[in-house]
Amino acid sequence: MKYANDLKDKTFYIFAFKAAWPDFLEGKTYRTHLEKRGAKLVTKFDKNTDYVVIGGKRIKGRADKIRQAKKEGIHLLHEFTFFEVVRLDLKDVKFAFTGGFHLGISGLESGPASILKNIKAKVSEIEDAKYFVIGDKRGKGKAAAIKKATALEAKGALKIMDEESYINFISKNCNYSRLDFPSLILLLRTVANPRKVDRAIQMLKTASYNIYADVSDKKVAGIVNSQSGGGYYYAPWIKKNGQYSCCDEDLDACMGLQGSICKHTLVLLLGLAKKGEIELQQAFDWAAAAMNKSPVENEDESATMILRYKGVKTGEVDWRPTETMPEDFYIF
C-alpha cells in the first residue's frame, strides 16, 4: 500500500476524534494506523509536536486545545485535513465506471476524469482498472460490466465500489493543495447533509442567481433568491468559527436549517467559490467548522443583509451582485 506522505517519527496529538476509520487505510483505528506507519502518539503536546488533530466530538477542553495549538504555532488539523495527511498515493491509479451517478457524473470524459484530476488518478477500461465504480442509476452495458468486474474481483485484480463508497474514498484521499471545484462538492458532502448539497447544486444548475454578498475574512453573508421564485429571498450567513443561520425576508428562521446549514447557505458558498469571490478551501473549512453545530438564534446578521437589500431595490444602495450561470454546474 503506497501512501502520499512519510509519517515515520512524526508526532501526533489527537483529541475528540469522531470520524469513522475508513477500511481502505491500514489498522482499525487512527492509533493502530499511525503505529504501523512509524508515527508516535503523544498524550501532551508542545511546540515540538508535529501535528495536533482536534476532532468533532463535543468534549470539554476542546476549545482550549485549539487555542493552545495556535499559540504554540503547531500544525493544527481537523479530522478532514488529518485524512489528507494519512491519505493514499493514488497517482496514475486507474478507475473504471459504469451506470449513472446521482451527482450527475455520467460521462467518462467529464465527471470522473475531472474528479480524479485532484488525486492524479486516471479513467481506464475495466481490464486495466484497480477500482471499479458502480453508479446507482441505470446505464448502457451496466449489467455486463458488473459481471466482468465481479470475475476480476474474485481473482483479486480489482476492487468494486458503489457510488457512496467511491465518494467517501475520493473525499478522504483529496489533496487540499490542489483542491478544485468538483473535489469541493465531494468534500462538502462529507461535512454537510448530502441531500442539501444536491439541492443547492440543483438550484444553481436550474437558473441564474444574483447573489448579493458581504465577504470578509471572518464572515460570509448575503441574499439568495428563493428557488420557488415570486420575489422571495433568504439571508444566509456563516462565520469562520462555524456559527451560521438563515432567515427569510420576514426574519423567520429558514425551514431548511433543521440543525445544519441549509441549501441557501450552500448556494452562497458554492456560488461565490465558483466565481472566485471566496477561496475553495475557505468554503470547505467554514462548512466543516459548522458541522455538528446548531444554527445561531440571532436575527441581527440576517436583518443587516435584508435591510441593505431593500435599499438596493429602492435604488438607495449600490450593491453589485455576483451572477451564477447554470452551465457552470451542468456536470454535477
Q: What letter would DSSP give residue 298?
A: -
Name the residue type at position 223. I
Give the pLDDT confidence score for residue 108 in this predicted structure.
39
Per-residue pLDDT of the chain (332 residues; tens, 9 = 90+): 899 999 999 999 999 998 899 999 999 999 999 999 999 999 999 999 999 999 888 889 988 999 999 999 999 998 888 999 999 999 999 999 998 876 654 343 455 667 788 899 999 999 999 999 998 888 899 999 999 999 999 999 999 999 889 888 988 898 887 888 888 888 888 889 988 998 999 999 999 999 999 999 999 999 999 988 778 999 999 999 999 999 999 999 999 999 999 999 999 999 999 999 999 999 999 998 898 889 998 889 999 999 999 999 999 999 999 999 999 887 67
Strands 11-15 vs 51-54: parallel, antiparallel or unpaired: parallel
Cα pseudo-dihedral 199, 204, 206, 211, rounded to 10: 120
DSSP letters, 11-67, are EEEEES--SPPPTTSSSSSHHHHHHHTT-EE-SS--TT-SEEEE-SS--TTHHHHHH
- Domains of the chain as residue ranges with CATH: 11-86 (3.40.50.10190), 94-173 (3.40.50.10190), 181-329 (no CATH)
Q: What are phi and psi of 273, to 5 degrees?
A: -65, -40
Residue 252's nearest CA partner among 308, 201, 203, 295 is: 295
What whole-number distance in Å separates Cα of residue 25 and Cα of residue 175? 16
* Residue 27 near residue 36 (C-beta atoms within 8 A): yes
Cα dihedral 21, 26, 27, 31 in deg (nearest 10): -80
Give me the helices (H) in the chain, please: 30-36, 62-72, 79-86, 111-116, 142-154, 163-172, 181-191, 194-206, 263-274, 280-290, 300-313
User: So what's the pLDDT on residue 185?
Assistant: 86
CA–centroid distance for 45 within its chain: 29
Contacts of 41 by beta carbon, 8 Å cutoff, 6+ apart: 11, 12, 13, 14, 31, 34, 35
Structure confidence at residue 313 (pLDDT) = 94
Q: What pLDDT, on a 0 to 100 scale, did the predictor assign at position 142?
A: 95
User: In angstroms, rounded to a whole number, what is the distance separating the alpha carbons of residues 265 and 180?
Assistant: 20
